[in-house]
Amino acid sequence: MSLRIGDTAPDFTVATQKGEISFHEWAGDSWVFFFSHPADFTPVCTTEMGRTAQLADKFAARNVKPLGLSTDTVEEHVKWIEDVNDTQNTNLEFPIVADKDLKIAQTYDMIHPDESNTQAVRSVFIIDPNKKIRLTMTYPMSVGRNFDEILRVIDALQTSDANKVATPADWVPGKKVIIPPSISDEDAKSLFPQGWETLRPYLRLTDVKA
């Protein structure tokens, strides 16, 4: 059975090129961007690992820890990271899970047989500090991820949690947000003293409080 939004992310203990980690303990009070790759020494994966490393400061600013996964060994990860750093002009510091036996990939439903029986597809799990899965995305092996979107959805989730709002299509920080229909106008007065615009009774737009 595949994991769903709201499920607790399964814990695991595993080797990485940064040493052994226990997932929940390692995550601590941070959000986690957990993402899988088909294999080391492959072209799309190399660019994605490099891009994640390049965005280290942006992830840190959002209290997010990246965690990669590939169905290869620690030794292969170490050698591959040299290529990532050299070709992508970066310094990869985050851990990459060594999942040679596919145990974690299977637990997280990252193995799709029509793509490969041994290599993980490009899965994304955004996991909050309570270890709850808040978002999932799955890309085929041939398509690299959009990291602007990954940062955007993290911003949207964190904004929603902090302000009791929802975010409209194509929302980015600085744009108006939605007051959920579950919040009455009366309750909204105290939650959103900055006021709001009512387009329909179910569609009320407001600004995020500074």
Catalytic residue list: 45
Collect contacts of 182-191 with beta carbons under 8 A, ≥24 apart. 191/164
Distance CA 34, CA 17 (A): 16
Q: Are 87 and 81 in contact (CB under 8 A)?
A: no
Residue 125 burial (CB count, 10 A): 23
Positive or negative, the CA dihedral 65, 50, 16, 99 is positive
Distance CA 44, CA 40 (A): 10
Positive or negative, the CA dihedral 59, 47, 36, 93 is negative
Q: Could you give the C-alpha distances from 133 to 7, 102, 117, in angstroms and in order?
A: 6, 20, 25
